[in-house]
Amino acid sequence: MEQQSSAFSLFDAIIWGGATVSLIGLLGIFWCIIKVSRAKRADLPEDQMHAVMHSVLPLNLGSLFLSVIGLMMVGIGIAFS
C-alpha cells in the first residue's frame, strides 16, 4: 500500500501553479470577449472594428496559450503525483 504524505509536494505545487496559470489565461480570454463585444455594440465603422480586432488578437492568442500550458501543468502534476 502507498503511504500518503500530508506535506505539500512538488507535484502539488505544479498542479496549483498550473491551475493559476490556466485561470489567468481564462480571464484574458474573457477580457478579449468583453472588449470585442463592446466594440460590436458601439457599431463602429469597419476600419475601426478591424483595428480593435487586430489589437485584441495577440492578447487572445497569448491567453489561449496560457490556458493550454496551465492545463498541461495540471495534467502532468496529476499524472506524476
30 in any annotated domain: yes
pLDDT in tens, the chain (81 residues): 456 666 889 999 999 999 999 999 999 999 999 999 999 999 999 999 999 999 999 999 999 999 999 999 999 999 998
68 in any annotated domain: yes
CA distance 71 to 65: 10
pLDDT number for residue 7: 81
pLDDT number for residue 8: 84
3 in any annotated domain: no
pLDDT number for residue 81: 84
Instruction: Give the list of residues 6+ apart from residue 60 with CB closer than 8 angstroms, or none.
Output: 28, 29, 32
Structural domain for 49, as ranges: 10-17+24-80
31 in any annotated domain: yes
pLDDT number for residue 5: 61
58 in any annotated domain: yes
Return the ∠ at Cα 60 (arms to 56 and 65), rounded to 5°: 155
5 in any annotated domain: no
53 in any annotated domain: yes
Number of domains making up the chain: 1
CA distance 73 to 79: 10
28 in any annotated domain: yes
